[in-house]
Structure 1
Amino acid sequence: MKKITFILVLIGMITLQSCEGPEGPPGRDGFTVEAEVIEVGNVNFTPQNNFEFQIFLNPPILPADKILIYRLIDVDGGQDVWKLCPEYVFFNDGTLSHAYNYDFTRSDVLFYMEGFDLAGLSPAVRTNQIFRVVIIPGYGSNFRMDFSNYDQVMAMLGLSEANVKPIEARQ
């Protein structure tokens, strides 16, 4: 009886090894999507441009893609320090001094400042700002991590400083 059971189990295992499930949906041939990092430098927020700066994404991003924006806030020991936007800066009493914010569509990103007296702010916080736009492919938008850490985001996406492109290079 043990030999018959063993033989039946062996035949069952061999039979199940060769089974296949239903065919999945067809893929998109020749279509790859990769994360991108675009650097936008020398951004000036002035009364003349309504404290806004717009870039155009050419080619446009895909509908499911996500965007993260980081602003260069410091260089510490030769290492860039990036802060995730929106970024709010408050006075000591807790009222808003100013903020760096953005919105985006598939074809553009609008960077803008918010606050009560933007023209009265020091030029150091309004001019020559550097931003990085990280485009995360839609298939990767379910990553669970701290997106405020720029270095972790870059590592997760398999990107390095060599992958950072100035906005002109993307067009």
Structure 2
Amino acid sequence: MKKITLAVAAIFAIILTACSGSDGIDGVDGLDGVNITGSIYEVSGTFSDENNYELTFEFPNTVEVFESDVVLVYILWEQVDGTDGQPIDVWRLMPQTRLLDQGTLIYNYDHTFADARFFLESDFELGTLNTADTANQIFRVAILPAEAVNGKLDTGNINDVMGILDTKEENIIHVSL
């Protein structure tokens, strides 16, 4: 009797799982939303007396920055020769401090929900800086949803940040200020 009950239950289970229904009707396409997956922008500009030694990058309208999001800024610190003779970019998480003959220079940043501001701080007159310290500076701004960071990310390593966002060099959006 047990074998018959077990056989009937097995056949019944197979019949139930073999049933198929028809697909429902597709819904109407929605409006394009904002980017909540994270973004990386490469921003270049020159610090000068005219701009009070600060640059402001306004986030595009397609990106919405939330209070819980993480905004990181990296500065292109130098380029070194790779084994294949091609230059390799060295990125450093800001703020960064340089000790110069004039005194201490700090590359720093802050951000709001609408923009990121890069600025120079020093204990000396900024007008005495060499153009190498002010002209054509390159920054990378990474906007990360909080859930992407969750304590497992080495924010000091731009390659880890790009990896968590699944961003390749060719996908970085370039902006000149």
TM-score between the two structures when normalised by the length of structure 2: 0.69
Amino acid at match of 2:158: Y
1:138 deviation in Å?
Answer: 2.5
Shift of 1:132: 0.5
Deviations 1:18-66 (A, max 9, x none): xxxxxxxxxxx9866212100101x111111111111111224223211
Contact 1:66–1:136, Cα closer than 8 Å, also in 2 = yes
Report the counterpart of residue 88 of structure 2 in structure 1: 79
Match for residue 110 of structure 1 among 107, 117, 124: 117
Q: Is the 8 A contact 2:43 2:140 kept in 1?
A: yes
State the identity %.
Answer: 31
Select which of 57, 61, 64 maps to 1:55: 57
Residue type at the aligned position of 2:71: I
Distance of 2:42 and 2:167 partners within structure 1: 14
Residue pair 1:88, 1:96 contacting (<8 A) in 2 also: no
Indicate yes or no: 2:102 matched with 1:100.
Answer: no
> Conserved in 1, the CA contact under 8 Å of 2:148 and 2:164?
no
The structure whose Rg is larger is: 2
SS of equivalent residue, structure 2 residue 160: helix
1:1-171 matched pairs, under 5 angstroms: 33-41=36-44, 43-59=45-61, 60-77=64-81, 78-91=87-100, 96-115=103-122, 116-167=124-175
Q: Distance in 2 between matches of 1:167 and 1:45?
A: 15
Aligned residue number for residue 8 of structure 2: none
Find the aligned partners of 2:164 and 2:148 in 1 and give their Cα distance. Answer: 10
CA distance in 2, matches of 1:66, 1:96: 31
Structure 1: tracts of 5 or more residues without a match: 1-28
Runs of 4+ in 1 over 3 A off after TM superposition: 29-32
Name the counterpart of 2:27: none
Amino acid corresponding to residue 46 of structure 1 in structure 2: S
- TM-score (norm: length of structure 1): 0.71
